[in-house]
Every structure is written in structure tokens, then in C-alpha cells.
Structure 1
């Protein structure tokens, strides 16, 4: 996930090249193909050509055999099933041209180095087919890993394309900008939380049912007006309804909210069926409700 996020951050940066043939790659430490380097090549460095390959994909060749040392790179892309490559994202790619028929093919190699086994992904951003096997315009970004390794090579290929390429130079600035946005949003969240806490404190300080118990500690905030309540803000009727078992009902002590007092008790068991019962308050006057 972190590896892919790093690639995404590159794509979020501001463009620095557009409207020309470009090869750009950023190789992580441990990557065999790019040797841990970051490189950008244009028409001034390499001769670019593009054509359809035998999997109905695209091969972009980039070379310079005039200057020394010689430079040559090839980038191959293919869709699953040998169908024509189209604009879109291609996941779970393996090494071209040895990929299975149900997965995309990808290979970036050159300078005498290539992967024996390869995994990766790529996104075709632009493709315009010409006559026959010719390619008029092509743009793709890719990520590949050699031999099942963690180290990645992130790259971009442009052929007669105006789709911009973003290099890793802007990555840190982009991360800093995103971090600043996160911190700003967190500050707003903290401020809203403080307002909420202050409002809740005010609400807890009210006595919405007027029984003398503030909302923050009132277990029964809907007591009828004028009803006597215990120290948790519950009337006798409300208190008995809160008891959940026969034993609790029999041992209930309304004024003190204690369950260990056997007699006198303030709630009585009223059967409503063979196995069900209700706890109701004793209002017969047989017991003193005020301790």
C-alpha cells in the first residue's frame, strides 16, 4: 500500500514536461532495472519509436547508439486476451510476452538489464492508432517489481503525447501540502469537538423535567411534573419499571437505589403470564416511601 501511495503522490504533483517524447523513471533502492536512480530522457537524448506488438499491445523503443555510452530502453504493454490496448488501468500485470492470457503484460527493460519474473500495473492515459501497426500517440504510467522484490520502479512513457509527466521532484512538496490540509482539517475537527463539549456541558446543567436532578445525572429525564423522585431523578413508578428480574423487583429500595434491602420493598411482582412478569410500584400506602 505504501509503495503504491508513493506512486500516486508523484501523479498528484504539478507537470514539468508536456508535448514531447519522454521517458521518465524513478527506481527505488534495490531495484535492478533502474539501479536506484531517477532519470528523465527526451528527444535530445534518445530516438523514440512506437508500434503495435504481437499481443495487440504497444511497444515503445528508445535508443541512442550514436553517443557513448550507448543507451537503449524498451517498454511493452499488452491487455489481457490479446485485445487492443485501450485507455484504462491494468492491474496484476506480469512479464511481457510470457503473461497468461487472462492478465496484462508489462516489461520495461534496457541498458542490458531485464526482469526474469515481473509483477506490476500500468495505466494507459492516451493511445491513438495509425495505419497498420503504427501508433500515432501514446502515454502510459507504470509500476513494476522484478523477481518478486519489494523495490519498485515507477515510470512514464510518452510518444507524441501532450499528456504531462510528473517527476519525483515535486513529491515532497505535494506531501507537505497534503499534510498541511490534514492538519488544518484536524484543527477544525478539534474546534468543533470543543464546541460540542461546551454545549453538552450546558445541556447537562439543565433540569429538563424540573424534578431537581440535572440532566447530566438524571436517569429518568422524562419524570412527570410534581412527582417525587429519588437521588437519580426517578419516580417510584419509573424506578420499578427499570427492574429487570423478579429478584431485583422484590429487593428494590427506591429512595436509595439499593438492591440489598429485602423488606420493606417498594416494587411488587405482577404476573402477566406463566413465565413473564412486571415490576410495579406499591402505592397501597402499606409502606413508608420516605426513609
Structure 2
């Protein structure tokens, strides 16, 4: 939890500011005119010009020029999406490299990637049971997908490739992002509404009840916490909130950060 909050706070402080200084031997002073656009793990940075800082052999930092638009991954391994829709990969033994033969990449999430034709891929393996997908999310071994017909799908943790339908989302084109964690999927709509679907929150007919937990939001992410996992919500006014515990998991309860 502390690590995730550290990453969030760091991103909040740096997203829009040039970063000058050092971290784990990475010198950024000469890059002070750039901005940190995204972070994967603790020492992998995507810069505003499409270049990346990453680690080789766990100790040495390298800067790779390029046109990377988004990254997703962990400390020593991950994938990226270039500005022209190609897939890139990096790991502990090599810096970011474009994967030959890949094109039409629309979104990346964890180790999954979504193509503009609505197909979902894991490495070079195509998900056979998914089609017409417009948005994906992956975290803590959980994977969710939203289809163009509004079906919100959550993969069975014990049966890879099989999905439970959490509900039908009206106007799925208005969903700009989503995050998944421990049987929960939160959707962020264009109007700022944050709606949560939780597998344990259902009515007498077994229908999952969607709950709106926030409005005027611009960013959402789930993180692990005890006794209740938290949804971190950044609002349009720049404040950063978290949901509460137990019955207060449907409310924004705590704040203290401002982007």
C-alpha cells in the first residue's frame, strides 16, 4: 500500500513538472525541460518526448529514445505502446524494443494489449473468447474488459479465458478508463462519474448493483489495503481522495493530497 501511494504521490507531484535530480543513479538534470508522463515500477519512467528510462540487470539505468505513448508493467518487465500503435517490450535484460509485426495497438494493461479491431492479446496469444472489446483493465492477477455492446466482463481467477458478465453498461463509449481489483471494477465516465461493480454486491435476483461513488473525477485506481481495498480518486479540482472501509467503501472519505 505504501509503495502504491508513493508512486501516486510521485506521479501527482511530477506530472506537469520537469524533474531535476537523481534517483537510483538516474540523472535527470539534463532532461529538466521534459516531463514525466508515466511510471511503471519504481525506476521506469516514460518521458513526454516518448523516450524511456529503465533498468538493465537491476542496477544500471539507461535512456532509450523513441516514440512510446504509454507503458504498463513492473520493476523489471513491461510493455509499451508507440505513438503509431505498435507494441514495445522491455525486461531486465534489454531496453524497450518494438515487437516486429505488431500494429493497431489501441491500449495496454498489465501484460495484455488491445487492438483497434477489438481483439485482446496476451503476448502473442489471442484471447479466443473476447471480441468487440473497446477497453481493458488488469491488476493483481485480475482482468476486466468492456465490449462495444456494453458488456462488462471479469475473468474467472480459476478458469483463464472464462468470463463473468457483471452487467450491461449504458453508453459504453462514454467510459474513458477503468480499474480492477479483487472482484471490483470501477468505471470512469466522460462526465466524471465513477461507477463501481462489485461481485459481492448484488440484489435478490443475483444482479450486481452498480454504485456511483464519485463525481467530477479525472483519474481512478484501485490499491490494496487492510481491512478494505481502496479506490483512489483524483477530482477535477486537483484533490485526491480515497474510499473508506467496510460500508464506507461506497464513499470518498479521506483526502490530503493535491495535484
Please confirm whether the aligned pair reaches a TM-score higher than 0.5, indicating the same fold.
no
User: TM-score, normalised to structure 1's length?
Assistant: 0.22
Higher relative contact order (CA 8 A, sep 6+): 1
For the pair shown, which has the larger CA radius of gyration, 1 or 2? Answer: 1
Greater helix percent: which structure?
Answer: 1
Greater strand percent: which structure?
Answer: 2
